[in-house]
Chains A and B, each alone.
Chain A
């Protein structure tokens, strides 16, 4: 089965600091999605990456896809308390099923 490992599992940063979350797939990626989940709430779509080398940004969040490494990274610049939550990567497998990663819990200390 598709495994999407995220690292780190949890992250605590001071407000204003930059941070990076990684998502590594055990199998070939056919597109990679990033979501954010506030504790106990639904999933918010952040961005979708479909091509190797693709990079997308939304406000202070940038995501890149490295198809060769089967990896994606999510970078937050100048973190704010509003960035706190659980970040999930998701990807499609060859069986056309959608899997989520293991999640990264982000806490931003004011």
Chain B
């Protein structure tokens, strides 16, 4: 069964550094999402992306965050100047149908900011 893949599985970065989290959505999916889960807390929506632009974003998704689909397969989340509170598990998801909420999640990237 096709799956969403995320790399790396664990990223350790110094505070203030830029980090790029990578995702390969399922190949025929058109809608892409990023979520984060701070340890012990809820999974929170960050952003949704369709047709090469952001469709929805939450309050968490401020100017330090950006998303990109640099080629036909990757979907990336960039955090420009990381802060300690960015430490979390970041999940990518994709879906095929417009209006369909994400059903396929990656295994996540654990981001640790030192």
Give chain A's interface residues, CB within 8 Å of chain B: 31, 33, 35, 37, 40-45, 48, 88, 90, 92, 95-103
Contacts and interface: CB of A to CB of B under 8 A. Distances in A.
Say what secondary structure dominates the interface of chain A: strand
A95 B89 CA distance: 24
Contacts of A45: 103-105
A97 B45 contact: yes
A42 B108 contact: yes
Secondary structure call for the B interface:
strand
Given A92-B101, A97-B45, A100-B44, A41 B56 contact: no
A26 to B, nearest CB: 14
Contacts of B25: none
B75 interface: no
Q: Which 8 A-B residue pairs are closest in the complex by CB-CB distance?
A: A42-B107, A43-B105, A100-B43, A45-B103, A42-B105, A98-B101, A42-B108, A98-B45
A98 B42 contact: no
B101 A44 contact: no
B91 interface: yes
Interface in B7-49: 33, 35, 42-45, 48
A90 B101 contact: yes
Given A41-B108, A48-B101, A100-B43, 4 more contacts: A42-B91, A98-B102, A100-B35, A100-B45
Contacts of B56: 95-97
A93 B93 CA distance: 18
A39 to B, nearest CB: 11
Interface centre among B43, B58, B89, B108 (most CB of A within 10 A): B43
Contacts of B33: 98
Contacts of A48: 101, 103
A42 B35 CA distance: 11
